Amino acid sequence: MKDKSNNNKNEFIPNWTEEAPKAGSYRSIFKWGDPKAFKHPNNELYSLFKSELGLTDNDFKNKINEGHEMVVCDSPVNITNDQIDSLISIVGSENVATDDYSRVKYSSGKTMEEVTKLRARTIDKVNDVVVHPRDKDDVQKIVAYCNNEKIPINAYGGGSSVNFGLAPAKGGISLALNTHMNKIISFNENNQTVLVQPGMMGPAYEDILNNAPEKLNARRKYTGGHFPQSFEFSSVGGWVVTLGSGQQSSYYGDAYDLVVSQEFVTPSGNFVTLDYPATATGPKVNDIMKGSEGSFGILVELTMKVFRYTPENQQSFAFIFPTWEAAAAASREITQGEFGMPSVFRISDPEETVMALKLYRVEGTIFDKIIRMRGFQPMQRCLYIGQTEGEKGFSKHVKKMVKKVCKAHGAMYLTGYPLKNWKHGRFSDPYMREDAHDYGIILDTVESPVTWDNLHKLHEGVRKFVKNRPNTMCLTHASHFYPQGTNLYFIFMAKYSDLDEYKAFLEGIMDAVLEHGGSPSHHHGVGKMFAPFMERHLGKEQMAILQALKNHFDPNNIMNPGQLGLGK
Amino acid sequence: MKDKSNNNKNEFIPNWTEEAPKAGSYRSIFKWGDPKAFKHPNNELYSLFKSELGLTDNDFKNKINEGHEMVVCDSPVNITNDQIDSLISIVGSENVATDDYSRVKYSSGKTMEEVTKLRARTIDKVNDVVVHPRDKDDVQKIVAYCNNEKIPINAYGGGSSVNFGLAPAKGGISLALNTHMNKIISFNENNQTVLVQPGMMGPAYEDILNNAPEKLNARRKYTGGHFPQSFEFSSVGGWVVTLGSGQQSSYYGDAYDLVVSQEFVTPSGNFVTLDYPATATGPKVNDIMKGSEGSFGILVELTMKVFRYTPENQQSFAFIFPTWEAAAAASREITQGEFGMPSVFRISDPEETVMALKLYRVEGTIFDKIIRMRGFQPMQRCLYIGQTEGEKGFSKHVKKMVKKVCKAHGAMYLTGYPLKNWKHGRFSDPYMREDAHDYGIILDTVESPVTWDNLHKLHEGVRKFVKNRPNTMCLTHASHFYPQGTNLYFIFMAKYSDLDEYKAFLEGIMDAVLEHGGSPSHHHGVGKMFAPFMERHLGKEQMAILQALKNHFDPNNIMNPGQLGLGK
Does B554 lie at the interface with A, CB-CB under 8 angstroms? no
Q: What is the pLDDT of residue B3?
A: 42
pTM comes to 0.96
Does A305 lie at the interface with B, CB-CB under 8 angstroms? yes
CB-CB neighbors (< 8 A) of A401 in chain B: 391, 393-394
Q: Which of A310, A391, A484 to mutate to test the interface with B (most CBs of B within 10 A)?
A: A484
Does A514 lie at the interface with B, CB-CB under 8 angstroms? no
CB-CB neighbors (< 8 A) of B485 in chain A: 191, 276-277
Whether residues B544 and A269 touch (CB distance < 8 A) is answered with yes
Q: Which of B270, B276, B315 to mutate to test the interface with A (most CBs of A within 10 A)?
A: B276
Secondary element (H or E) of residue A458: helix A455-467
Using the 8-state DSSP alphabet, how is residue B290 labeled? T
Does B523 lie at the interface with A, CB-CB under 8 angstroms? yes
Whether residues A288 and B288 touch (CB distance < 8 A) is answered with yes
Does B334 lie at the interface with A, CB-CB under 8 angstroms? no
Residues 216-255 of B with CB under 8 A from A: 242-245, 254
Query: Taking the C-alpha atoms of B164, B168, B170 and B171 in order, what is their torsion angle to the nearest 10 degrees?
Result: -160
Does A548 lie at the interface with B, CB-CB under 8 angstroms? yes
Instruction: Pick the residue from chain B with its C-alpha nearest to A261.
Output: B484
Residue B356 CA to its chain's centroid (Å): 20
* Rounded average pLDDT per 10-residue block, chain A, 568 residues: 46 94 97 93 92 97 96 96 98 98 97 97 96 98 98 97 96 98 98 98 98 98 97 96 97 98 98 96 98 98 98 98 98 98 98 94 90 94 98 98 98 95 89 94 97 98 98 98 98 96 97 97 96 96 98 98 92
Q: How far is B142 from chain A (nearest CA, A)?
A: 19
Q: What is the pLDDT of residue A10?
A: 65
Please choose, from the candidates A299, A313, A312, the residue with its C-alpha nearest in 3D space to the C-alpha of residue A553. Answer: A299
What is the rounded distance in angstroms from the CA atom of residue A520 to the CA atom of residue A531? Answer: 9
Q: How far is A227 from chain B (nearest CA, A)?
A: 16
| Contact present, A466 and A509 (Cβ < 8 Å) | yes
Does B279 lie at the interface with A, CB-CB under 8 angstroms? yes
| Contact present, B264 and B289 (Cβ < 8 Å) | yes
CA angle A376, A378, A383 (to 5 degrees): 70
Is pLDDT above 60 for B6? no
Q: What is the pLDDT of residue B149?
A: 98
Q: What is the pLDDT of residue B160?
A: 94
Cross-strand partners of A474: A492
What is the rounded distance in angstroms from the CA atom of residue A235 to the CA atom of residue A233? Answer: 7
Q: What is the pLDDT of residue A218?
A: 98
Does B323 lie at the interface with A, CB-CB under 8 angstroms? no
CB-CB neighbors (< 8 A) of A287 in chain B: 283-284, 287-288
Give mean pLDDT, residues B119-142: 97
What is the rounded distance in angstroms from the CA atom of residue B87 to the CA atom of residue B303? Answer: 29
SS3 state of residue B131 = strand
Q: What is the pLDDT of residue A59?
A: 96
What is the rounded distance in angstroms from the CA atom of residue B381 to the CA atom of residue B367? Answer: 14
Q: How far is B75 from chain A (nearest CA, A)?
A: 31
Q: What is the pLDDT of residue B5?
A: 45
Listed range (A345-349, B3-7, B86-90) with the worst mean pLDDT: B3-7
Residues 430-489 of A with CB under 8 A from B: 449-453, 480, 482-487
Residue type, A460: E
* B482 → closest Cβ in A277, A288, A290: A277
* B338 → closest Cβ in A193, A391, A539: A391
Q: What are phi and psi of A491, to 5 degrees?
A: -110, 125
* B545 → closest Cβ in A244, A285, A539: A285
Q: Which of A275, A542, A559, A566 to mutate to test the interface with B (most CBs of B within 10 A)?
A: A542
Is pLDDT above 60 for B9? no
Please choose, from the candidates B276, B274, B278, B277, the residue with its C-alpha nearest in 3D space to the C-alpha of residue B289. Answer: B274
Whether residues B549 and A254 touch (CB distance < 8 A) is answered with no
CB-CB neighbors (< 8 A) of A394 in chain B: 338-340, 394, 397, 401
Q: What is the pLDDT of residue B7?
A: 47
Q: What is the pLDDT of residue B244?
A: 97
Q: Which of B275, B302, B338 to mutate to test the interface with A (most CBs of A within 10 A)?
A: B338
Whether residues B390 and A292 touch (CB distance < 8 A) is answered with no
Whether residues A401 and B391 touch (CB distance < 8 A) is answered with yes
What is each CA distance from B171 to A215, A288, A370, B70, B152, in whole angstroms?
A: 60, 31, 75, 22, 7
Please choose, from the candidates A391, A525, A376, the residue with its C-alpha nearest in 3D space to the C-alpha of residue A445. Answer: A525
B121 CB contacts (<8 Å, ≥6 apart)?
B26, B67, B69, B72
Whether residues B278 and A541 touch (CB distance < 8 A) is answered with no
Whether residues B542 and A191 touch (CB distance < 8 A) is answered with no
Residues 28-87 of B with CB under 8 A from A: none
Q: What is the pLDDT of residue B225?
A: 98
Q: How far is B58 from chain A (nearest CA, A)?
A: 41
Q: What is the pLDDT of residue B467?
A: 98
| Contact present, B540 and B154 (Cβ < 8 Å) | no
Greatest CA span in chain B, whole angstroms?
Answer: 75
CA angle A171, A175, A179 (to 5 degrees): 145
Q: How far is B321 from chain A (nearest CA, A)?
A: 20
- Per-residue pLDDT tens for B203-254? 999 999 999 999 999 999 999 999 999 999 999 999 999 999 999 999 999 9
Q: How far is A449 from chain B (nearest CA, A)?
A: 6
Q: What are phi and psi of A219, to 5 degrees?
A: -80, -25
SS3 state of residue A198 = coil
Q: What is the pLDDT of residue A11?
A: 83
pLDDT band at B539 (very low <50, low <70, confident <90, very high): very high
Residues 371-410 of B with CB under 8 A from A: 389-391, 393-394, 397, 400-401
* A278 → closest Cβ in B293, B390, B480: B480
Instruction: Pick the residue from chain B with its C-alpha nearest to A252.
Output: B338
Number of inter-chain CB pairs under 8 A, A vs B: 285
What is the rounded distance in angstroms from the CA atom of residue B119 to the CA atom of residue B435? Answer: 13
SS3 state of residue B494 = strand
- Per-residue pLDDT tens for B106-130? 999 999 999 999 999 999 999 999 9
pLDDT band at B488 (very low <50, low <70, confident <90, very high): very high
Q: How far is B69 from chain A (nearest CA, A)?
A: 36
B366 CB contacts (<8 Å, ≥6 apart)?
none
Does B188 lie at the interface with A, CB-CB under 8 angstroms? yes
* B277 → closest Cβ in A285, A401, A485: A485
Q: What is the pLDDT of residue A9?
A: 55
- Entry field: residues in chain B: 568
Does A15 lie at the interface with B, CB-CB under 8 angstroms? no
Is pLDDT above 90 for B377? yes
Q: What is the pLDDT of residue A2?
A: 38
Q: Which of B249, B312, B484, B543 to mutate to test the interface with A (most CBs of A within 10 A)?
A: B484
